[in-house]
Structure 1
Amino acid sequence: MAIEESWPQQVQHLIAQRRLDPAAAIENADRVMQREFIYDHPYDMEPTNVVYHMDPITWQQTPNGDPEWLYMLKRQEYLLDLLLASQAQDDPKYLADAKTLIIAWIDANLTLPKTWRTIDTGIRLMNWAPVVEALMQAEMLTAADQAKIQDAVTQQMAYLRAHFTDHYLLSNWGVLIVTGPLVYGVLHPGSLTAEDMQWAMQELETMCDLQITDDGVHWEQSALYFLEVWRDLLAVQIAFDRYRRPVPELVTRKLLAMDDFAASMYCRITSCCRLGIVMRSRSTA
């Protein structure tokens, strides 16, 4: 793969090689453009199997009485599907809708911080980071748009610092809270202050030390929490490497340990599944 390829070209290259299948992302992106929402991704924290139509979006009113549904809505992970659909099909309509949804969140939520949660804010910044970068590269943001988004990022960062407590140091929540700002800050130089970036990285280093054992196990003993923490640490490492920014040695070491543990965990799960199949086949023979 040529280094000079743009990211959309790399995505299309991976699709042509059948190393990336964008079908699910395109399907969800098409739904989102019709303002139909379903949260059935493997990493969704509060998954649902029901599609809800919401146009216009009522950001403070859940369609099913469950506040968890609004948490998913406000994390805006569907923006990543819109981005991938745009890159895979070379179609700017998806990216334009991602911009619409970011601005819609800002207009409806920025003045209502009492409706925010720390974990959702961190995840939202993680999801905004590559999408805003793509919008900038495509010259789809006016000066006013850029100022509005920057103000929203500044306010969300201030909220996270004001509401971060020592309780988060032992929780996967804490990792998800600080990794979003770190990725956003490195992809958008100057969007966060040096002090904010230093604070977030120091907290992340402390959490890696406390939460992840030297053999890569996350102490909360949850497969989902492990994957969430692992995925966000990967995002930080990749983003910082891309811009040749240093990552603390401890963070990189713990990430590599999680890589090794994930590989061995997959082998154990696969072996157990195969053993289960064999045992079932013998019992029915």
Structure 2
Amino acid sequence: MNFERVNQYHQKFFLDQTLEKEVEKNTLFFETIYKRGELLKQGQIIFDDPLDMEAVSTPYLLNLANLLESPNGDPEWFYMVSRNGYLVDLGILFAYTKEEIYFEVWKKLLFDFIKWQESSPHVWRSLDVGLRLNNWMKSFIYFSNLQDRLTNIEKIKIEEAITKQIIYLKENFPTKNYLSNWGVLAIVGILATAQLLPELVSTEVERWGWHTLKEALKIQFFDDGIHWEQSPMYHHEVVMCVWQLWLNSQYLNLPFEDEIEDILQKAIRASTYYCNQNFGLLPLHDSDAADFTYIYNLYSLSGFLDLEMNQNPGIFYIGKKFEVRDLKPLPTLFSTGESGFLAYKDSNIYLTLFNGRHGSGHGHASLGSLTLKYKGKELFKDPGRYTYMEEPLRINLKEEYYHSSLMIDETPLTQVSGSWTYDSMAEPLFHQAVENTEQVIFEIAWKGNIDGEIVIFKRKIIFLKEFTVFLVINTSEHNGRHSLTTRYQMGDELDFDLEGSNIRLKGSPFVLKGNEQAMIALNNKVWSPKYNESDYYKELTLKQNFENYLVSYECLYPEQEIAIEKIDCYQNKQLNASPDEFYFGLKLTRLKDQSINEYYHSSRDTFLGDKLYISKNGRLLYGKDKFYKEKIGEIE
């Protein structure tokens, strides 16, 4: 086994670094790696890295007994251990501290695992094998003269273990893995080995690997760069593995196919809308609300993103800063396509709305669900995932009841039957997002059925930029007499005052104003900021009855800055105000200067009588959305 490329990689990786300075500049981040290393020296392991797919914040013994029977009862523990990410931690600690103990622990744990993998059936899932090989290759580059640090017998053992895993991955790649994160994660293990230890992977297998990877990536990513499984966590897992292959190619001067790099670039840019302004991950579907600063820092240091970041913790994984490409600035509005994921992010606002296909079993029943952060404060949340075991909270967090969406007669359109299974599923119909100087508009629709009868929902979110006002308009259609429940999963740092149809979000400047007919309630609920962790928050519900068709709306606005007043609208030649479904308006008054803007909405077309409508104050109206800054009669 020839470590020539590993040595070449190592020399270039550390060429322009002053190790002490890098640690000093990123002390807090390095401290987290150091703490994991201290546990490893004691024979224990903890999974608290943001990329740990199934985090465990309790340390457990790292031994064969625990690879045969999970110490916490969750089989995901086996899988996390079998990925061997801890070897990368030990490599980093050795390289940046020069303490030999870390190499000694690394070698012991590597050979322990090589022995254990013959005894434990839990370590032979293809994605875990692929990640394990990738982590082995990453860990190698942190050791200078690795060739001389290992005996011939040790090198033979490593070579045999790698060869066995390469053969396993090639022979255990079902066709379905083309459309699974498992497929990409498995193939990356083969290709990373081919890059660093080329004599261990045949030309035929390497050629198969690159072709299979390209085909898998082409089918797994939507045209807007979002991964089809619709989970920010697994989006990053796939992207980071492909990014590692790209990084290897840069250090080793190896070719990297343009088509794969283009997919990688688009996926990385799309991923910036999967986090808030502080790089906290959106816990949409099976994801955690984890701090992904160092991941986005890696994208930035490698030139895929141009981000202003105060920290550079990614330096421990990338080695040096690459040239920033000729990049266009990221727009505030995500140019959504096939995925159905809509997002807007500026310096203060982070707003998302989901209306895409369900994706894999990692998907939740979240059609029509929105999230919102303002100046770092979470107003409407997604509740996370908690566990992959068949527990009540796991099922609850996947249900429509735990998302900020709509439900008729308390009957979900997507029926969750288990941790990974469903009895029925709602279907997204359309989605669009537009932005102009005055406003951002998200508009979506989805459908399902209840007792064989069609249900159609439409949801429109209008963000009026100048006023920092959010208007959520819901259209519900279901023949007969029914009740609509509108749900908002509220930020766990908020408290509330209820006053009529107004709900004050204490801890923020906002009031949420609902329909006067709605019955408002606050419910205690549990959410999961991280796998295996839970906390409490409040859910806000607004419930109202209707027959056949209902237009309802909520308005979120800063109470100390803006006054909101409804404006009745009239069909031409009619004396009574029209129902809200045909036309209603809102007057927004900015308190500091008494300037007034008006917004009008019509959710359905008029086919009886005139199509012209007139507001109470004399505004002539036609069309779905109208926004006016000028006064009536004013010449623009």
1:271 is aligned to 349
Displacement of 1:132 = 3.0
Which of 230, 236, 239 is the aligned partner of 2:245? 236
1:68 is aligned to 76
Q: Name the Cα RMSD after superposition.
A: 2.7
Which of 178, 181, 191 is the aligned partner of 2:187? 178
* Aligned ranges 1:244-263 → 2 under 5 Å: 244-263=253-272
Q: Residue by residue, what CA displacement relative to the aligned partner does 1:87-142 show, whole Å, maximum 9, x if unpaired?
A: 22111211221111111111121366675110110010011002234446243211
Distance of 2:122 and 2:181 partners within structure 1: 22
* Aligned ranges 1:187-226 → 2 under 5 Å: 187-226=196-235
Q: Residue by residue, what CA displacement relative to the aligned partner does 1:247-273 show, whole Å, maximum 9, x if unpaired?
A: 222101101111221234446467222
Distance of 1:254 and 1:24 partners within structure 2: 32
Distance of 2:157 and 2:219 partners within structure 1: 37
In the superposition, relative to structure 1, how do residues 71 and 232 fare at CA in structure 2: closer, same or farther (>3 Å)?
A: same
Q: Secondary structure at the match of 1:65?
A: coil
Deviates more, 1:106-115 or 1:38-47: 106-115
1:227 is aligned to 236
Which of 17, 30, 39 is the aligned partner of 1:10? 17
Q: Residue by residue, what CA displacement relative to the aligned partner does 1:23-80 show, whole Å, maximum 9, x if unpaired?
A: 1111101101111122122111111122213457643232222221111111111111
Amino acid at match of 1:183: A
* Aligned ranges 1:40-189 → 2 under 5 Å: 40-54=48-62, 58-110=66-118, 115-135=123-143, 137-138=145-146, 139-189=148-198
Displacement of 1:8 = 8.3
In the superposition, relative to structure 1, how do residues 278 and 79 fare at CA in structure 2: closer, same or farther (>3 Å)?
A: closer
Asked if structure 2 preserves the Cα contact closer than 8 Å seen for 1:130 and 1:187, the reply is: no
Asked if structure 2 preserves the Cα contact closer than 8 Å seen for 1:46 and 1:72, the reply is: yes
Structure 1 residues without counterparts, runs of 5 or longer? none
How many percent identity over aligned positions? 27
Distance of 1:234 and 1:32 partners within structure 2: 27
Distance of 2:12 and 2:242 partners within structure 1: 25
Amino acid at match of 1:205: K
Structure of greater relative contact order (alpha carbons < 8 Å, 6+ residues apart)? 1
Asked if structure 1 preserves the Cα contact closer than 8 Å seen for 2:169 and 2:190, the reply is: no
Asked if structure 2 preserves the Cα contact closer than 8 Å seen for 1:123 and 1:176, the reply is: yes
TM-score by length of 2: 0.42
Asked if structure 2 preserves the Cα contact closer than 8 Å seen for 1:214 and 1:254, the reply is: no
Structure showing the higher helix proportion among its residues: 1
Structure showing the higher strand proportion among its residues: 2
Distance of 1:120 and 1:231 partners within structure 2: 15
Amino acid at match of 1:277: K
* Aligned ranges 1:13-28 → 2 under 5 Å: 13-18=21-26, 21-28=29-36
Asked if structure 2 preserves the Cα contact closer than 8 Å seen for 1:208 and 1:251, the reply is: yes
